[in-house]
Amino acid sequence: MRITDIISGLAGFLWLATIGTIVFSSVQAARNKPIKKSRSIIISFALAAIIITTASAGLVFIEPQERGVVISAISPNGYRTTPLQPGLRWIVPFVERVEVYPVARETYTMSIASFEGQIQGDDSITARTSDGQEIFVDASVIYQINPAKVVDVHILWQDRYSTDLVRAQSRGIIRDAVSQFTVDQVISAKRFELVAFIVEELNIKLEENGISLVDFVLRNITFSPEYAASVEQKQIAEQEGKQAALVVEKKIQEAQQVIETAKGDAQAAVIAAEGRAEARLIEAQAEADALTLIQASIAGNPELLTYQYITKLAPNISTMLLPSESPFVFQLPEQTP
């Protein structure tokens, strides 16, 4: 509990005590039972009540997250130019009063959702892009009163700064910013540039009125039902196109694989054919060399051919009859009986 509240409560108690004493003394006097020194008691209570009430009217306690603007009847401007700082402060009783303003951070939210923002219902910002598309923007502005400019805020806006300044300026600047981008840029490539533009312009406007911009949050962007349907159809078509491209790519890879396999088979067949040809050449060369050797052997020993003929006959043949008029195939050597 603040000390100012305690003093104010004490002042109220003393006034009640004063009034109660007056009533009780009057009743006792009517019964011819006057209270001794009742007048002194009443005066004491009244003086104490006046003193405490005066102190209560002159003492002001400012919280750490607050600043006080003193409205003064004795000041030439009607107010003190310097705001009251946190702590227990003194003002001139009954001729000065204090308007307390928060300097802590505050958030003003404008949303399409019914219960997310300061205003119930759809409070999103309707804006139109440079290519004529209507979009709905949800945003939050985080701000605080500049402690050094509390007096200026009071003079310019009083307690209307959140609605008449922050809300109004935010909505106007967001609309101006969106109008400089196409709908595709707003939702993709230029979104950060859009936010940077809004922050820069909003910071200038608020600073001129004693408010410091802490942060700006672009919460969500919603499209009209017609455009949302067209975007969905476009995305479906893009996905189908990508799927078709993947199928084509797969077919190309399969065809390439078949080609490579065929090339491998062809190369293997060529290598095998070359191997067989080379083997046949070696075999033919060997046969030629063998015939050459046989020819040389026969030329040096003609009887070798007759011997080979005889050895090739079946081993169980001991006699061979030939027609008398048929000549011998080979000239047999004369045998000695």
Report the pLDDT value the prediction gives residue 153, as an integer from 0 to 100.
96
Question: With bands split at pLDDT 50, 70 and 90, how would you rate the model's confidence at 335?
Answer: very low
Residues 245-254 have a mean pLDDT of 82
- What is the distance between the alpha carbons of residues 170 and 272, in angstroms, rounded to a whole number? 82
Q: Of 22, 13, 29, 24, which Cα lies nearest the Cα of 43?
A: 22
Q: From residue 205, how far is each of 169, 180, 196, 198, 236 by CA, in Å?
A: 7, 19, 15, 11, 43
Task: Work out the percent of the chain whose per-residue pLDDT is above 70.
Answer: 85
- What is the distance between the alpha carbons of residues 168 and 315, in angstroms, rounded to a whole number? 128
Q: Which residue type, as a one-letter code, is found at position 181?
A: F
Give the residue with greater pLDDT, 323 vs 158: 158
Token duo for residue 324: 């008398």
Asked whether the predicted pLDDT for residue 15 surpasses 80, the reply is: yes
Over the stretch 37-69, which tens digit does the pLDDT of each residue have?
778 888 888 899 899 989 888 999 999 999 999
Number of H helices and E strands in the chain, helices first, is 8, 8
Q: What is the gyration radius of the CA atoms in the chain, in angstroms? A: 58
Token duo for residue 21: 């004493």
Give the residue with greater pLDDT, 141 vs 39: 141
Over the stretch 157-196, which tens digit does the pLDDT of each residue have?
999 999 999 999 999 999 999 999 988 888 887 889 999 9
Over the stretch 128-137, which tens digit does the pLDDT of each residue have?
999 888 899 9
Asked whether the predicted pLDDT for residue 266 surpasses 60, the reply is: yes
Query: Could you tell me which residues come within 8 angstroms of residue 297 by beta carbon, excluding any fewer than 6 positions away?
Result: 304
Over the stretch 209-229, which tens digit does the pLDDT of each residue have?
999 999 999 998 888 777 766
Residues 131-148 have a mean pLDDT of 93
- What is the distance between the alpha carbons of residues 203 and 144, in angstroms, rounded to a whole number? 12
Give the residue with greater pLDDT, 240 vs 88: 88
Asked whether the predicted pLDDT for residue 254 surpasses 90, the reply is: no
Task: Give yes or no for a contact between 142 and 214, defined as CB atoms under 8 angstroms apart.
Answer: yes
Question: With bands split at pLDDT 50, 70 and 90, how would you rate the model's confidence at 309?
Answer: low
Give strand pairing partners of 218.
139
Report the pLDDT value the prediction gives residue 305, as an integer from 0 to 100.
64
Question: With bands split at pLDDT 50, 70 and 90, how would you rate the model's confidence at 289?
Answer: confident
Over the stretch 61-102, which tens digit does the pLDDT of each residue have?
999 999 999 999 998 989 999 999 999 999 999 999 999 999
CATH number for region 106-223: 3.30.479.30
Task: Give yes or no for a contact between 211 and 144, defined as CB atoms under 8 angstroms apart.
Answer: yes
Give the residue with greater pLDDT, 273 vs 68: 68
Q: What is the SS3 assignment for 88?
A: strand
Asked whether the predicted pLDDT for residue 231 surpasses 50, the reply is: yes
Report the pLDDT value the prediction gives residue 25, as an integer from 0 to 100.
84
Report the pLDDT value the prediction gives residue 337, as an integer from 0 to 100.
43
- What is the distance between the alpha carbons of residues 330 and 332, in angstroms, rounded to a whole number? 6
- What is the distance between the alpha carbons of residues 264 and 18, in angstroms, rounded to a whole number? 117
- What is the distance between the alpha carbons of residues 291 and 64, in angstroms, rounded to a whole number? 122
Report the pLDDT value the prediction gives residue 195, as an integer from 0 to 100.
93
Give the residue with greater pLDDT, 8 vs 294: 8
User: Do the strands 125-128 and 96-102 form a parallel or antiparallel pair, or are they unpaired?
Assistant: unpaired
Report the pLDDT value the prediction gives residue 118, as an integer from 0 to 100.
79
Report the pLDDT value the prediction gives residue 237, as an integer from 0 to 100.
66
Give the residue with greater pLDDT, 149 vs 272: 149
Asked whether the predicted pLDDT for residue 307 surpasses 70, the reply is: no
Report the pLDDT value the prediction gives residue 314, as an integer from 0 to 100.
56
Give residue for tokens 């030439």: 76
